[in-house]
Every structure is written in structure tokens, then in C-alpha cells.
């Protein structure tokens, strides 16, 4: 049994119709990350950044993207696993929670939330953020930004993530290329704790050699089977 920490990245939502970042045709082949995913880019051109996230938020609320078999398998694992469980996602979409995951951290924030730049209050947000959007608490205009973590900003809930990694028995990384720190270093933390480490991805990630076990294939094809086997072994 024991405790499990899972890290997910854009690859788990790819089969739901959400673009990954670094694959051919991915997000960073269409827009410059310096323009849309840094605080400096937001200072230079807030309208461009808000539009980039408004478009992505619209895709989520349109109903055209739904959780896939991989999201559902992780929700099942959380429900049926008898030990400790934590899902850490780098994704800002809401597909894990739509699939039923509960014990979860969005380390890079959430598209369906807005944050007040001055007070740091966070609000559920399902529509566009525009120059006419008022902070629901202060009523002020032009103080809202997407509640996401850009390059150079501190990811969320790092204390809880590191304490869970330092105490875990199994670490599973799913659908992430391993390009972005600090998530790319989680496997080392888990290894130091003596955890069994597993990478599930379409192809070897940058940090593949740090994992003891590797399974390559589409998340929807590989993960449901992997979860079923893991649950079978705990009984």
C-alpha cells in the first residue's frame, strides 16, 4: 500500500483536445512564451495576455473538452487507494476535478479563477477578463489577472508538495516533458525518499533516466490498465 504522489502535465489532457506546449503544433509554436507567460509580458501588453487566456477559458466552458479515460483512471485510483494520495497537476484546465479528483494541487494555478493583482484575492471566474471586469470584492476595474503561474513566479502549495514527496512510496509522472522547474525535480525528491518512481508518457522525457520504471504510450491507453494493476496489488 503506502503513499502515492502523482504529477501530471499537458500530455494527460492532449486526448481531450487541449494542446500541449512543446510538441509540434503546440502552444509555444503559435505564441511566444515571453509574451504570454511572464509577468513582464503581462506588463507590456495585458490585453494580449488576457485574450490568450480568455480563448483557452472559452474552450473549457464550451463543453467541447471533457475528461478522458486517463483523468478518470486517476480519480478511480484516489477513490480506491487505501493509503495516502496526492495529485499534483501542472495543468490549469479543470479536467481532473471534472473527472472526480479531489485531493489535488494545481501548482501552476487554474484557468477558471481570477486573481486581484493588488489584494491577491482569488475568485471563481468562468467568463472573459476584460477592461470592464470588476473585482467582485473591491469593485475596482483593471485589477484582475488569470490565476496562473508564469515563468519567474513561485508555483503554488510547494510546502505541501515537498513534504508529500519526502514521505512517498510511489511517485508517478504522467504526460510531462520535464522541461519546467520545479516539477522536473520532483522525481529526485521522491527517489531520495526511497520511492518507486514511474514515468508514463508518449516518449522519454528530459529526465527519463531518473525514473526506475517507464511506460511509453498514450495516457488513455496505458493509464487505466496501470491503475487497475496497482489497485489489484494492494488487495
Residues that bind ligand BJW (CB under 6 A): 9-11, 14-15, 20-23, 26, 37, 90, 92, 108, 148-155, 158, 175-177, 179-182, 201-203, 205, 218-219
- For the bound state, the minimum distance from the C-beta of residue 167 to ligand BJW, rounded and expressed in Å, comes to 18
Nearest to 181 by CA among 106, 90, 87, 93: 90
Secondary structure of residue 45 in the 3-state scheme: coil
Secondary structure of residue 77 in the 3-state scheme: helix
Residue 120 known to be catalytic? no
From its phi and psi, is residue 118 left (phi > 0), alpha (psi between -120 and 50) or beta? alpha
8-state DSSP, 22: S
Residue in the shown chain whose Cβ atom is closest to ligand BJW? 11
- For the bound state, the minimum distance from the C-beta of residue 101 to ligand BJW, rounded and expressed in Å, comes to 16
Q: Report the greatest alpha carbon distance in the chain.
A: 56
- For the bound state, the minimum distance from the C-beta of residue 196 to ligand BJW, rounded and expressed in Å, comes to 20
Q: Based on CB atoms, which residue is closest to ligand BJW, 202 or 231?
A: 202
Which parts of 71-158 are beta strand (E)? 85-89, 104-106, 109-116, 122-124, 144-148
Of 71, 96, 106, 108, the active-site residue reads 108
Q: Based on CB atoms, which residue is closest to ligand BJW, 81 or 226?
A: 226
Alpha-carbon distance 184 to 29, whole Å? 21
- For the bound state, the minimum distance from the C-beta of residue 223 to ligand BJW, rounded and expressed in Å, comes to 8
Alpha-carbon distance 136 to 123, whole Å? 8
8-state DSSP, 19: -
Alpha-carbon distance 71 to 8, whole Å? 10
CB 227 within 8 A of CB 74: yes
- DSSP H helices, 81-214, are 95-99, 158-165, 186-192
- For the bound state, the minimum distance from the C-beta of residue 133 to ligand BJW, rounded and expressed in Å, comes to 19
Helix (H) / strand (E) element for 209: namely: none
Cell numbers found for residue 207: 529526465
Q: Based on CB atoms, which residue is closest to ligand BJW, 14 or 101?
A: 14
Which residues carry out catalysis?
Answer: 108
Amino acid at each position: 500500500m503506502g503513499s502515492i504522489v502523482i504529477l501530471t502535465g499537458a500530455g494527460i489532457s492532449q486526448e481531450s483536445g487541449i494542446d500541449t506546449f512543446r510538441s509540434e503544433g503546440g502552444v509555444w509554436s503559435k505564441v511566444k512564451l515571453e509574451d504570454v507567460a511572464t509577468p513582464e509580458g503581462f506588463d507590456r501588453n495585458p490585453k494580449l495576455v488576457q485574450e490568450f487566456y480568455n480563448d483557452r477559458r472559452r474552450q473549457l466552458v464550451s463543453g467541447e473538452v471533457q475528461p478522458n479515460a486517463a483523468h478518470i483512471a486517476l480519480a478511480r485510483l484516489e477513490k480506491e487507494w487505501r493509503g495516502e494520495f496526492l495529485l499534483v497537476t501542472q495543468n490549469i484546465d479543470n479536467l481532473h476535478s471534472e473527472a472526480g479528483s479531489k485531493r489535488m494541487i494545481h501548482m501552476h494555478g487554474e484557468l477558471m479563477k481570477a486573481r486581484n493583482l493588488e489584494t491577491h484575492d482569488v475568485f471563481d471566474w468562468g467568463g472573459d477578463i476584460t477592461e470592464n471586469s470588476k473585482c467582485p470584492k473591491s469593485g475596482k476595474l483593471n485589477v484582475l489577472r488569470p490565476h496562473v503561474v508564469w515563468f519567474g513566479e513561485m508555483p503554488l502549495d510547494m510546502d505541501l508538495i515537498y513534504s508529500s514527496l519526502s514521505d512517498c512510496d510511489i511517485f508517478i509522472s504522467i504526460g510531462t516533458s520535464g522541461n519546467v522547474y520545479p516539477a522536473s525535480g520532483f522525481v529526485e525528491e521522491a527517489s531520495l525518499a526511497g520511492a518507486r518512481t514511474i514515468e508514463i508518457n508518449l516518449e522519454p522525457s528530459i529526465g527519463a533516466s531518473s525514473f526506475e520504471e517507464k511506460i511509453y504510450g498514450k495516457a488513455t491507453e496505458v493509464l487505466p490498465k496501470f491503475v487497475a494493476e496497482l489497485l489489484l496489488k494492494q488487495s
